Amino acid sequence: MAQATRPAGFYRHHDGHRDALVCDGVPLAEIAAAEGTPLYVYSAATLRERYQAIDAAFQGYPHALHYALKANSTLAIARLLRDLGSSVDANSVWEIEVARTAGFTPSQIVFTGVGKTPEELESAVALGVKAINVESAGELARLEAIGARLGRAVRVAIRINPDIDARSHPKISTGLKINKFGVPLDEARQLLQTLEARRFLTLVAIHVHVGSQITSLDPLRRAAALAANVSADLQQQGFPLEYVDVGGGLGVSYDGGEVPSAADYVAAIVDAVRHTSLPIVLEPGRSIAAPAGALVARVIDVKARTAESEFIIIDAGMTELMRPALYGAFHRIEPVSAAAAGDRHYEIVGPVCESSDVVGRDRMLPVLQPGDIVAIRDAGAYGSAMASNYNRRPLPAEVLVDNGTWRVIKRRQTVADQLSLET
């Protein structure tokens, strides 16, 4: 019953004259008071909802969701997704290690990455992952040599660079020929023809991934269609492919604008791949994790900026959430304990020693004072995963809220933790 009356995820709770930002039934102010700031807070309900929306959209079409760990690989989050039936896409041997610690089996791991070292390749082969997504002819040759040495056929997927413009931010578009990713289509077709004769390589799939935060279906559909068409040609030649891997990339709405729904996205992909009858592997990261997280921070200082606007200096910045500084990304910022809207003009900045450390430009908010708590929304993906120790700032604590209770899933780092690595 309690579940039915408690909306999932982040929402504002109005109670007489009080207005509070709440996560899965728990006021963020309560968590911030107990754990301090800056702090990542995640909604288990939102993670489940987002995963299940994509999963259900396949409507019985065979598929596997390989959550992209790079979006957020905090152990408890990886475990929660594993419990839902997820598999993973890992981008380094270290992400594979985290996946194994979270309980994923080798057959649930695909290994992608544009610069996998010989050591990383060897350990993935020895482990026997579901597939290594190969990014070049050179990498394929290195894998073949490892397979020969270990006396086993290496399961590979070839990542094709389809020369498709994802029309996302240039720093996170990966599908154009000028990008460093994958094997260009012409070269891939030739490379694929060599595979039949190479007995230490088993081709299991074709892989594409054209970028991230993609907000129109067209590039995603075209990339999937290309992967499916190449797969169909290979099937005709007798290659026993096991699935088509169409990557990740579905965007989320950071600013309230329209983005494709999980249902429309999956329908488009299934449409493009169905003629092969092959199962679909999808590698969603952001679309599952982003809306499930908020970065909670405290106002340290307020000072004049122009005649009309002020700086709000908070205790989280590019070290905790790099996206605004790196991509000019927009994240909603709202006070945790007052109305979300207001009429003060603010530039919200972090404490780091450079002017790129702006978290929110040009925002209208109610009056904020030192000590007030704010939440930076949709920070569950590529937030904590990209945090750094610049200025010796400790990595923030992380909390998971589940069904009205919360727990610390990553304790705040200390300077002693940092110094323990140093002499």
In the complex with ligand LLP, the residue whose CB is nearer, 35 or 89, is 89
23 is catalytic: no
Q: How far is the CB of 128 from ligand LLP (least distance, A)?
A: 20
Rounded CA-CA distance 189/237 in Å is 12
Q: How far, in whole angstroms, is CA 183 from its chain's centroid? A: 23
Exactly one of 50, 198, 298, 323 binds ligand LLP (CB under 6 A); which one?
A: 323
Does position 213 bind ligand LLP by CB under 6 A? yes
Rounded CA-CA distance 5/7 in Å is 6
Q: How far is the CB of 69 from ligand LLP (least distance, A)?
A: 9
Exactly one of 25, 285, 360, 380 binds ligand LLP (CB under 6 A); which one?
A: 285
Which is catalytic among the residues 1, 4, 178, 353?
A: 353
What's the Rg (C-alpha) of the chain? 23
Does position 382 bind ligand LLP by CB under 6 A? yes
Does position 287 bind ligand LLP by CB under 6 A? yes
Assign residue 25 a region (left: φ > 0; alpha: ψ between -120 and 50; beta: otherwise). left
Could you tell me if 50 and 30 are in contact, meaning their C-beta atoms sit under 8 angstroms apart? no
In the three-class reduction of DSSP (H, G, I as helix; E, B as strand; rest coil), residue 395 is classed as coil
In the complex with ligand LLP, the residue whose CB is nearer, 20 or 69, is 69
Q: What share of the chain is helix, strand, coil (3-state, %, to 5)?
A: 35, 25, 40
In the complex with ligand LLP, the residue whose CB is nearer, 19 or 218, is 218
x/- string (CB under 6 A) for ligand LLP, residues 87-106?
A: --x-----------------
In the complex with ligand LLP, the residue whose CB is nearer, 22 or 172, is 172
In the complex with ligand LLP, the residue whose CB is nearer, 172 or 358, is 172
Exactly one of 116, 198, 286, 331 binds ligand LLP (CB under 6 A); which one?
A: 286
Exactly one of 73, 161, 212, 319 binds ligand LLP (CB under 6 A); which one?
A: 212
In the three-class reduction of DSSP (H, G, I as helix; E, B as strand; rest coil), residue 350 is classed as coil
Phi, psi of 381 (to 5 degrees): -110, 135
Q: How many chain residues interact with ligand LLP (CB under 6 A)?
A: 22
Q: How far is the CB of 171 from ligand LLP (least distance, A)?
A: 7
Exactly one of 31, 68, 146, 226 binds ligand LLP (CB under 6 A); which one?
A: 68
Could you tell me if 50 and 248 are in contact, meaning their C-beta atoms sit under 8 angstroms apart? no
Residue 102's closest CA among 116, 85, 82, 126? 82
Q: How far is the CB of 313 from ligand LLP (least distance, A)?
A: 23
Residue 61's closest CA among 222, 289, 272? 272
Could you tell me if 380 and 292 are in contact, meaning their C-beta atoms sit under 8 angstroms apart? yes
Does position 272 bind ligand LLP by CB under 6 A? no
Could you tell me if 379 and 293 are in contact, meaning their C-beta atoms sit under 8 angstroms apart? yes
Interface of this chain with ligand LLP, residues 114 to 143, rule: CB under 6 A? none
Query: Which strand ranges, in their side-by-side order, compose the sheet holding 10-15?
Result: 10-15, 18-23, 26-27
Rounded CA-CA distance 67/288 in Å is 8
Exactly one of 247, 324, 360, 394 binds ligand LLP (CB under 6 A); which one?
A: 247
Q: How far is the CB of 13 from ligand LLP (least distance, A)?
A: 29
Say which DSSP state 171 is in: G
Q: How far is the CB of 284 from ligand LLP (least distance, A)?
A: 5
Could you tell me if 153 and 206 are in contact, meaning their C-beta atoms sit under 8 angstroms apart? no
Q: How far is the CB of 407 from ligand LLP (least distance, A)?
A: 25
Interface of this chain with ligand LLP, residues 325 to 354, rule: CB under 6 A? 327
Does position 209 bind ligand LLP by CB under 6 A? yes
Amino acid, res. 132: I
Piece in contact with ligand LLP (CB under 6 A), picked from 65-73, 141-149, 263-271, 406-414: 65-73
Could you tell me if 67 and 250 are in contact, meaning their C-beta atoms sit under 8 angstroms apart? no
- Strands 201-207 and 243-245, how do they pair? parallel
Rounded CA-CA distance 402/43 in Å is 7
Piece in contact with ligand LLP (CB under 6 A), picked from 96-104, 193-201, 206-214, 219-227: 206-214
Exactly one of 71, 80, 225, 313 binds ligand LLP (CB under 6 A); which one?
A: 71
Rounded CA-CA distance 249/269 in Å is 12
Give the active site residues. Answer: 353
Binding residues for ligand LLP, rule: CB under 6 A, are 68, 70-71, 89, 112, 172, 209, 212-213, 247-250, 283-287, 323, 327, 381-382
